Chain A
Amino acid sequence: MESLKVYILIANRTYNDGIRSALGLAVENHYGYPVIMNGEFPKLSEYMAENIAWIADMEGEVLSCGAEAPTDLPEDVEMTNIDLEALGERMRDADFIIPYGLPKQTNEPPPACAE
């Protein structure tokens, strides 16, 4: 089976599931590239840190577009900063581009769901 290059664009702050979905494709021998496009990085759970590390192990990559990724990430967790133009150029080579979930919110989340 051909390995496909799949970009998962995550604009909403609730980015975790887009990363989980990319990992799901990685374990099916595809290349998963989740792109966090919102500049918001809610507290990274141990589960999510493992998912990000695993995507890298499977030759995928987690990208941050439009904002610098946090520098205090746990060991083995890497995110690559990329600007919008460079992302567009990379995605010309994509087999699939998936704008994931909901669009970016304009309002701030309340404390009940901010983390």
Chain B
Amino acid sequence: MKILQVYRSEPNDDVKTLVGILNRDRDADEFKLYGENPDYDQLVEKIFDADKTVCWW
């Protein structure tokens, strides 16, 4: 399963722990929305490439 983790802000320890468990034994990718000028085209491509997306606070 391909899982995409998207972050709207720097992930805290709780989020990192949960992501570690969710990503285990899976094909995991990530995208940071909190940088300057996020590439939305690339994000959409990643979302459609993944089976599941989780977008954290």
* A interface with B by C-beta (< 8 Å): 11, 37, 66, 84-85, 87-89, 91-92, 96-97, 99, 102-103
Contact partners of B9 in chain A: CB under 8 A: 103
B44: Cβ under 8 A from any A Cβ: no
B21-57, CB under 8 A of A: which get 1 and which 0? 1101000000000000000000000000000101111
Nearest B residue to A101, CB-CB: B57
Q: Total contacts A to B, CB within 8 angstroms? A: 31
Report whether over half of chain A's contact residues are helix, strand or loop; otherwise say mixed: mixed
Contact partners of A91 in chain B: CB under 8 A: 18, 21-22
Q: State in angstroms the CA–CA spacing of A65 and B54 once bound together.
A: 18
Nearest A residue to B15, CB-CB: A99
Contact partners of B18 in chain A: CB under 8 A: 84, 87-88, 91
